[in-house]
Amino acid sequence: MNKIIYILIKILTNTHTFTNNIFINKNYLLHFVLLIVTQLILSNCSNSKQSDYSSLAPSPSSSPSISNNNTTASTTTSTTTTVENSSNNKIVNFQLYSLKELNLARTNPKLYAQTRLKNEYSNNKDNGAYQELLNTEAMDSLTLDVALNNAATNYAIFLNSRQLFGHTFDGTPSDRCSRAGYNGGCAENIAQASGEDWNADVDSQKAAINFIKILIIDYGVSNYGHRRIILDPSYRKVGIGHNSNSNPNSTYINLTVQNFGQD
């Protein structure tokens, strides 16, 4: 790819030669070559590097809500069109910030509790998460998986574009992970919330921190299903999706999906 970019750059530096010999607008050619170089770089970045379900979805006002689900993953092999996550830098940043938050809770749960949950604990709104994380042993970190990332991203778009919330509108989590090319134990968390503090297009870091926090606190979830998935050491991989819509009258504005894999 570097050789291709070098050739394109040579074309850029000799644009006058080409445009003097044939009738092509110089600015148009310059824009075209820059577009090709950008796409090559983004493509190169994107090539680098469950069914348990949980969903959290807040009410249309301001409080968030969640949902989770666990089942055995299908072993059927299928293919799907991959999602070019790198085409949207803000969503990529949200995925990376979410991964950082998840791994802080897993690899240093005491520090996560002290830095993210102390205020909620002081106001008796942590749902027992603060004390649990203080007493949780550190575990291995998660790594982003391309197939799980595509499954989570596709489902976040599917749900929010249709204003739906749940785990079984487009098959089971196992079905979606399998279609994306992942075959193994799969778990899913879903959360939605309104407001700019949850919108990755506005502030990807703040949105990631807030979504991971509500999934760990598990507002109104008696079995702490989302927290259990996040702190389950058997999961080693994760995929993260996010989608926001600009319609203020929508029930669901900002929605995130997490798919966890065991292999």
DSSP of the chain = -HHHHHHHHHHHHTHHHHHHHS---HHHHHHHHHHHHHHHHHHHHHT----EEEEEE--SSS--EEEEEEEPPP------PPP-GGG-HHHHHHHHHHHHHHHHHHH-HHHHIIIIIHHHHHTT-STTHHHHHHTPPP-PPPEE-HHHHHHHHHHHHHHHHHT--SS-BTB-HHHHHHHTT--S-EEEEEEEE-SGGG-TTT-HHHHHHHHHHHHHHTTT-TT-HHHHHHT-TT--EEEEEEEE---TT-S--EEEEEEEE--
Q: Higher confidence at residue 102 or residue 65? A: 102
Hey, what are 130's tokens? 């603060």
- pLDDT for 98 beyond 50: yes
Using a cut of 0.85, tell me whether the model's pTM lies above it: no
Q: Given pLDDT bands bounded at 50, 70 and 90, which one contains residue 184?
A: confident
The mean pLDDT of 152-165, rounded to a whole number, is: 95
How far separated are the first and last CA of the chain, in Å rounded?
Answer: 31
Hey, what are 250's tokens? 């929508």
Q: Which pLDDT belongs to residue 41?
A: 41
Q: Around 6, how many Cα atoms within 13 Å sit in the side-chain half-sphere?
A: 3
- pLDDT for 114 beyond 90: yes
CA distance 235 to 40: 33
- pLDDT for 18 beyond 60: no
**47-91: per-residue pLDDT in tens?**
333 345 555 544 333 446 566 665 333 222 233 334 444 447 899
The mean pLDDT of 106-112, rounded to a whole number, is: 98
The answer to whether 113 and 133 are in contact (CB under 8 A) is yes
- pLDDT for 146 beyond 70: yes
The mean pLDDT of 164-189, rounded to a whole number, is: 94
Q: Given pLDDT bands bounded at 50, 70 and 90, which one contains residue 38?
A: very low
